[in-house]
Amino acid sequence: MAVNSRAKQFFAFTVFIILASLDNAAAGVLPPLYAIIARDLQANDAALGSVTAVYILIVAIAAVLWGYRGDQKKRKPLLFWGTLVWVTAMLLTTTARTFSHFLLFQMLTAVGVGGISSLGFSVVSDLVPAHRRGLALSLWSVSQGIGASLGALLAGTVGAFDWRYPFWIIATAGLLFAILFLFTQEPLRGQAEPELKPLFNQGKRYEFRISRADITLILQQSSNRWLLLQSFFYALAYGSTVWIPRWAIARVQAEGYTLETATIVGNLIIALLSLGGFTAVLSGHLGDRWQLRNSQGRVRLAMIGLLVSAPLYVALYFIPFRNLSLPEPASFWELVTAVLYAFLNNGWVILAFVVAFTAVTFQSADPPNWAAMITDVNLPEHRGTVIGLSRLFRAVGNAISVSLAGWLFASLTSHLPEPDNYAVGLSLFQIFVLPSLICYLFLQKYVAGDKKMITQRLTKRAQS
């Protein structure tokens, strides 16, 4: 019976992880296609950058609403309908013939994606034991990175021939896993908390649910305030990285290649440069182990990661892709072969890979440990709402970052040619890593005490 239960939990966890990956693919598919979609819909890069900014804000607002509702009711039906919303909207996006229709369908996509981001997080936090929370949430984090990379890769490959193809592919995959989701079993709220084991061993349920008054309590907690503020500055620093594919495309174009070739090659290069994101699993595991020895282990690991990654990102943006040897015209697989050859023989590309891999590796220490900390300092019935609030804080930072970056790149063009305008602009955003680190410095004073308070409240509830 125990084996069967674990198998069901593993199946549910796998489906949730893949759904989280696909909703990030839905978000990540657009930026690499800015130039091609702008040409097709007679828009411009700045207008499509605004679509991404508004998309991010709607995802966040929807995440708060979906998350709050999920903290009151069963989460499985909400997750299913949220998935169907974004799948349908993605399919409708492919029918757009004007910029206004494209904008409308992408906003509907954002409404559905918001449900996965908060409800899915709440469910995953109940699926895994508390002492493995960092590891599990690192898989959640990696899945989102894989999804964004998948979206970018589809955009830069099949999307270079017709921008609608990646939207069809992602929507179809989303529909498939929405159906599989119907066969999962929703975990009991709070079942992963060791303090609540006596309650569940007696055959009882954890019946506490969020109320409107609880939102004030969530925001009054010191750890929540610093974690939410940190997520804003983190997003301000790294939100602009949605433009990195455009930077890579410009780097390839600077070597004399066409937009179509540069779109494919630039996105292939970015996919390879992003491989360091897989080390988030190791970061989550290290955070778990350090936290067992020191109550501030997670926050310190996240701080080290940000401190090391920021200067490496700045260095990366100024590395050129010189001496590229690409066939033109060429098939997709010919370009893939040429890119792989460059990663083995081109010194500039090899240098970019080493710097990017190290930067992404250290940066990956932040997301899983941040997520584990915000889970540790909040009650089970608050987690969907608080992660929704974090999405709102992060979305505001992302929207400002994405929009400001688009304006900054355009402003720098009059002084610097492409891709130098992208290199300088992206580098300037690393300044915001500093206030993000300051938030963590203040968080160290409160995180252990707030976690202890949650533990005491759950223990008391289990005994009542």
Mapping DSSP onto H, E and C, the string for 87-148 reads HHHHHHHCCCCCHHHHHHHHHHHHHHHHHHHHHHHHHHHHHCCHHHHHHHHHHHHHHHHHHH
- Report the pLDDT value the prediction gives residue 49, as an integer from 0 to 100: 65
Helix 164-181 / helix 133-156 crossing angle, nearest 10 deg: 150
Residue 98 gets the label, from left (phi > 0), alpha (psi -120 to 50) or beta, of beta
Cβ neighbours, 10 Å, residue 86: 28
Cis peptide before 367 (omega within 30 of 0): no
Q: Is the peptide bond before 32 cis (omega within 30 degrees of 0)?
A: no
In degrees, rounded to 5, the angle at the alpha carbon of residue 38 between the alpha carbons of residues 91 and 253 is 120
Task: Please give the Cα distance from 33 to 362 (Å, whole number).
Answer: 28
**pTM to 2 decimals?**
0.80
Give the 3-state secondary structure of 245-277. Answer: HHHHHHHHHCCCCCHHHHHHHHHHHHHHHCHHH
Contact 452, 190 (CB under 8 A): no
CB 339 within 8 A of CB 268: yes
Q: Where are the beta strands (DSSP E) in 310-359?
A: none
Rounded CA separation 260/43 (Å): 18
CA distance 32 to 269: 12
Provide the CATH number for the domain around residue 208: 1.20.1250.20
Interatomic CA distance for residues 452 and 195, integer angstroms: 11
H and E: helices and strands count for the chain = 21, 0
Q: Which of 139, 137, 157, 135 is CA-nearest to residue 147?
A: 139
Instruction: Provide the domain limits for residue 254.
Output: 2-463
Q: Are 151 and 170 in contact (CB under 8 A)?
A: yes
Where is 47: in which H helix or E strand?
Answer: helix 45-72
Q: What share of the chain is helix, strand, coil (3-state, %, to 5)?
A: 85, 0, 15
CA 148-282-145 angle, to 5 degrees, is: 5
Intra-chain end-to-end CA distance of the chain, in Å: 29
Residues 6+ apart with CB under 8 A from 168: 91, 94
Could you give the CA distance from residue 58 to residue 111 in angstroms, rounded to a whole number? 6
Looking up tokens 């992602």 gives 170
Overall domain count for the chain = 1
Length of the chain: 464
Residue type, 232: F
Print pLDDT tens along the chain (464 aa): 455 666 777 787 788 778 778 878 887 787 777 777 777 777 766 666 677 778 878 888 888 888 888 888 888 888 888 888 989 999 998 888 888 888 888 889 889 888 877 887 777 777 777 767 777 777 777 777 778 778 877 887 787 778 888 889 988 988 888 888 788 777 778 887 888 888 888 878 888 888 888 888 888 899 999 999 999 999 999 988 878 888 888 888 888 888 888 888 887 888 788 888 777 777 888 888 888 888 888 899 999 999 999 999 999 999 988 888 888 888 888 888 888 988 889 889 899 999 999 998 999 889 888 988 998 898 888 888 888 898 889 888 987 888 788 888 888 888 888 888 899 999 999 999 999 999 999 999 999 899 889 888 888 888 76
- Residue 51 exposed, middle or buried by CB count within 10 Å (0-12, 13-18, 19+): buried
Identity (one letter) of the amino acid at 342? A
Report the Cα 250 to chain-centroid distance in Å: 24
Among residues 347, 390, 387, the alpha carbon closest in space to that of 229 is found at 390
* SS3 label, residue 294: coil
Non-local CB neighbours of 25 within 8 Å, separated by 6+ positions: 147, 148, 150, 151, 154, 170, 173
